[in-house]
Amino acid sequence: MPDGMITKGVGGLYTVISEKCEYFCKARGLFRKNDEKPIPGDWVEFKVTNEQLKEGYLLKIKKRKNYLIRPAVANIDQAILVVSVLDPKPDLLLIDKLICVCESKDITPIICINKTDLGSKLEESEIANQYIQTGYKIISCSVKNEKGMALIDEILHDKISVFAGQSGVGKSSILNSIMKKEVMEIGDISIKIGRGKNTTRHAEFISIHGGYLVDTPGFSSFEPQLFSPNQLKELYVEFQQFENTCRFSGCIHINEPDCAVKNAVKSGKISMERHKRYTTIYEIIKQVKKEKRGY
C-alpha cells in the first residue's frame, strides 16, 4: 500500500501527498471505532480506489513524533513564535506558555520579534534580552522593510514548521512575504480591542524548501491541565544548569531558601521577567489542579 502525509483535512476529506502526487482520501470507519482521528502532518498508509480521480481511503496512521490538540496537527519540528514590538502590545506571558508547549512536545521554539519598524531598538532589545539565556534562535524582522525575511526563509528548509503567537502580530503577513504570494488571509487590527481578527480557518500544510509550513489557527492557547506544577521547571531550559546546585533536590525555584535558580536571577544569569512569568504560570497550573480536585 502507498503511504504519504496528510497536508489538509476538511469535512472528512483528507489531502495526502505521496511521491509528489496528491490524493483525496476518506477515513475508514475503523478510525472512529478505535477513537482515532487523522490530522494534518500525519504519515498514513492509504489505498487508491480511483487513480484517474486520485481518490482513495486511509488505512493506517503511523506513529506520531508529536501532536498538538488545538489546532490538531502532527509531527512538528519547530515553532516560530511571533511577538510584535508594538501593535499589539507584546504578550510575553503567552510566548512563555507556548515555549512550555514546545518543550513538552519536542518542538524547537524560535523567537520572532516582528514589526520592528514600529518600535525603537530599545523596545526590541528589551524583548530579545529576556530570551538570550535560553539559547533559542531569536530573529528580529519587519515585513514592511523585509528585515529578517531571509533568515526566516532559511530556517524553514527541510523542516515542518508552525507559526504561532497572539492575534495581530503578523504571522500571516510573514508567511505571505516568504511565499511571495498571499496564501493566508490577513486580518485587520481591531482598533477597539487591539487584536487581529481570526481569519485563518484551518490548518493547512504548504510545501516550501523541502519542508512544510503551516499557519495554525488557535495555537495561541495554553492547556494548564496538561501539565503538573512540578513538571513546569523542566520546561525552562535556562534553569537546567543550576538545577542540581539548589539546597533541596525537589526545589521549585520560587520560595525555597538557597535556591540556585533564584540566585542566578539575582545575578542576571536568568531573566528576572522570565522567572516572574514562570511563577505566574506555576500558580495558574496549581490553581487548575486544585479546582480539578474540588478543594
Tens of pLDDT, residues 47-66: 999 999 999 999 999 999 99
- Kindly report, residue by residue over 169-220, the tens digit of the pLDDT: 998 889 889 887 655 554 433 323 233 444 445 678 888 999 998 855 555 5
From CA 185, how far away is CA 200, in angstroms rounded?
Answer: 7
Out of 169, 189, 215, pick the residue that ends a domain.
Answer: 215
Q: Residue range 224-252: average pLDDT?
A: 93
- For residues 106 and 208, state if they share a domain: yes
The letter for the amino acid at 229 is P
> Residue 27's pLDDT is what?
92
Whichever domain contains 30, its CATH number is 2.40.50.140
149 in the same domain as 197 = yes
- Are residues 126 and 209 located together in one domain of the fold? yes
Residue 278 and residue 184 share a domain: no
- Taking the model in full, what pTM does it have? 0.87
Its domain, for residue 22, covers: 3-63
Do residues 157 and 200 share a domain? Answer: yes
What's the Cα-to-Cα distance from 84 to each of 59, 105, 118, 254, rounded to whole Å?
Answer: 43, 25, 9, 29
Last residue of a domain, which of 11, 42, 63? 63
Lowest mean pLDDT among 4-18, 65-79, 190-204, 279-293: 190-204
Omega within 30 of 0 (cis) for the link into 88: yes
Q: How many domains does the chain have?
A: 3
Average pLDDT of the residues in 106-130: 96
Among the ranges given (9-18, 142-151, 196-205), the one the predictor scored with the smallest mean pLDDT = 196-205
201-205, 216-220, 226-230, 272-276, range with the lowest pLDDT: 216-220
Pairing between β-strand 78-84 and β-strand 73-74 as defined by DSSP bridges: unpaired
Q: Looking at the structure, do residues 99 and 201 belong to the same domain, yes or no?
A: yes
CATH number for the domain spanning 173: value is: 3.40.50.300
**Domain match, 117 and 248 both:** no
50 shares its domain with 112: no
Grid coordinates belonging to 114: 516582528
Q: What average pLDDT score do residues 73-95 get? A: 94
Does the pLDDT of residue 6 top 90, yes or no? yes
Strands across the sheet with 138-140, in order?
Answer: 138-140, 108-114, 78-84, 160-164, 211-215, 205-208
Q: Judge if 44 and 82 occupy the same domain.
A: no
Q: Residue 109 pairs with which residues in a beta bridge?
A: 79
- Band of residue 9 on the pLDDT scale cut at 50, 70, 90: very high
pLDDT over 80 (residue 20): no
Among residues 155, 185, 215, which one ends one of the domains?
Answer: 215
75 and 185 fall within a common domain:
yes
Q: Which helix (H) or strand (E) holds 110?
A: strand 108-114
Is 94 or 20 the better-scoring residue by pLDDT?
94
Residues 76 and 179 in one domain: yes
What is the domain-level CATH number for residue 254? 1.10.40.50
User: Is residue 291 predicted with pLDDT exceeding 60?
Assistant: yes
57 and 75 fall within a common domain: no
